[in-house]
Amino acid sequence: MTTTESSGPEATDGQVTLPDGRVALTAGVTLDDPRFANSDLAPVPLEKRTWGVYNYTALWIGMAHNIPSWTLASGLVALGMDWKQAVFVIALANVIVLLPMLLTGHAGPKYGIPFPVFVRASFGMRGANLPALIRAAVACCWFGIQTWIGGQGIFLLLGKVFGGWTEAAEVGGYPWTLWLCFAIFWVLELAIIYRGMNALRRFENWAAPFVLIGAVVLLVWIADKAGGFGPLLDQPSELGWGADFWPVFFPSLMGMIGFWSTLSLNIPDFTRFGKGQRAQVWGQSLGLPTTMTAFALMSVFVTSGSQAVYGAAIWDPVELAAKTDNVFGLLFALVTVLVATISVNIAANVVSPAYDLSNLVPKHISFRTGALITGIVGVLVMPWKLTSTPELYIFTWLGVVGGLLGTVAGVMIADYWILRRTVLHLADLYRRDGRYWYTGGWNWRALAAFVIGGTLAVGGSYSTVSAKGVKQGPFPVDGLIPFLKPLADYGWAVGLASALVVYVALGLTRTRTADAV
């Protein structure tokens, strides 16, 4: 079934297609199999697909303006780049990752379905749990990272307001006041998401401009104290643009892509609420690459100012804000950190696993229950270790995650755009006897493409060695699979491209049916 040019909706095969291309179930269709459907996983009704361009732009502004994305440039500078190289890498990565974001996001406003339902078309009704749980596991880790960072931010700023706050008795190696900040922050995040997606949309609508204002205030404050920006902007690159630069550039680029590669899979979780394709395309295009690039520039300028004022580059915005003795300024910084970190964490790291875990056992796990499970797992993963060094953070964590998720994205894009030409049969995505059951609920072609693409993408993962001879990371220096080591620096691109090619090749060998091309 394709989009009709008629003046009214076209109904066929249990679904109706509007002239603008959006699809919904007909009135007589019920989704009553508790193994594959519940109210959270069901298609969003047409009348509730209300998000517009501003909502998606605000969503990305809210997600991009957070402490880890602020410090991305610092990680690249720590690896030897100058500020221009760091901003260039971040800008290029976000332009690249925008493309799969728009391609996978297309199914959201068209069919009103979340990521774990969308991926049933390619991996099968049961097989969809594999990429969904991989995505959920990554999100749980990210949730823990962001919550810990947010808790630390509150802890440091309150330490300036209340003397002795940071010198409290230690529990488990950290002051009990830090654990209290962590717990309060954790509860705030889950309280917002527990109220549902409309509450998230309202929160992001006002959080985005607030956080942007906070970043600009920090920039103006440090510029005023510095009397202009300091010498950091004049610091030459330790790598140059020659042979030393490119071995760092490509894994760094893949790491930056890996930063948002998670959302390139589950962006339908948000676009399913869109008014149409224009809303998600323009909203994401205006929100993601421009915001991330501007934020990287601000982080560099602010850090440059800190170099001039304090004699050392301070990349952490919380640490920098704590330098002021103005109580109002400290409280404003505290609220900004709270809003910024909550904004990204509940949108990027709670929504997806909540849907993914609900997809695992729809009868027993609702969206809210999935969110609570995410919060608990995020506490148990000891996330502070993942950001301990730039090498571990950018190469190991972001690189490996990006490689695996790029593989899933390759299968999804190949299935939806190349083989199906964006045509899905909505009711069958919720039925055991439908066309997406494949063999026992699994599509072996998708599994084969995932295994091959994943092996090529991350099989050569390796650890670097510091100048002191210390291994930086958990992998062998020669790579897990030594002959694949040269591919490891391009993990996301290798995973996406190889999985796409393998899946298309296997898909074209099958007998053409009504649900294929």
Domains and CATH numbers, the chain: 11-398 (1.10.4160.10)
H helix or E strand, kind and range, residue 16: strand 15-17
CB atoms within 10 A of CB 116: 29
Give 301's Cβ-side CA count (13 Å radius): 19
Asked if 309 and 226 count as a contact pair (C-beta separation under 8 A), the reply is yes
Whose CA is closest to 111, among 433, 352, 427, 435? 427
Res 343: pLDDT: 79
Res 513: pLDDT: 44
| Span 394-421, average pLDDT | 83
Judged on CB neighbours under 10 Å (0-12, 13-18, 19+), 317 is buried
Res 419: pLDDT: 94
At 174 the three-state DSSP class reads strand
Tell me which DSSP letter residue 361 carries: S
CB atoms within 10 A of CB 367: 21
Give residue 193's identity as a one-letter amino acid code: I
Backbone angles phi and psi of 182, in degrees to 5: -60, -45
pLDDT of 348 strictly over 50: yes
At 341 the three-state DSSP class reads helix
Residue 418 to residue 18: CA distance in whole angstroms: 23
Residue 406 to residue 459: CA distance in whole angstroms: 14
Check residues 428 and 195 and name the one with the higher pLDDT: 428
Res 395: pLDDT: 53
Res 89: pLDDT: 87
Q: Are strands 23-25 and 464-465 parallel, antiparallel or unpaired?
A: unpaired
Model confidence band, residue 517 (pLDDT cutoffs 50, 70, 90) = very low
Backbone angles phi and psi of 300, in degrees to 5: -70, -45
- For the beta sheet containing 10-12, the strands, ordered from the edge strand earlier in sequence to the opposite edge, are 10-12, 15-17, 23-25
Residues 6+ away with beta carbon under 8 Å from 421 = 2, 517
The token duo for 510 is 């099958």
Tracing tokens 């294929």 back to the chain, one arrives at 516
Tell me which DSSP letter residue 168 carries: S
| Span 283-301, average pLDDT | 87
List the alpha helices (DSSP H) in 37-82: 53-64, 67-70, 72-78
Res 479: pLDDT: 83
| Span 488-509, average pLDDT | 89
Least confident among 21-35, 198-212, 273-287, 345-359: 198-212
Tell me which DSSP letter residue 43 carries: P
pLDDT of 234 strictly over 80: no
Whose CA is closest to 288, among 503, 105, 423, 51? 105
CA dihedral 465, 247, 240, 83 (to 10 degrees): -80
Tracing tokens 């910084």 back to the chain, one arrives at 333
Residue 432 to residue 364: CA distance in whole angstroms: 18
Asked if 48 and 131 count as a contact pair (C-beta separation under 8 A), the reply is no
Res 203: pLDDT: 77
Asked if 496 and 410 count as a contact pair (C-beta separation under 8 A), the reply is yes
| Span 398-404, average pLDDT | 72
Residue 353 to residue 136: CA distance in whole angstroms: 4
Res 6: pLDDT: 42
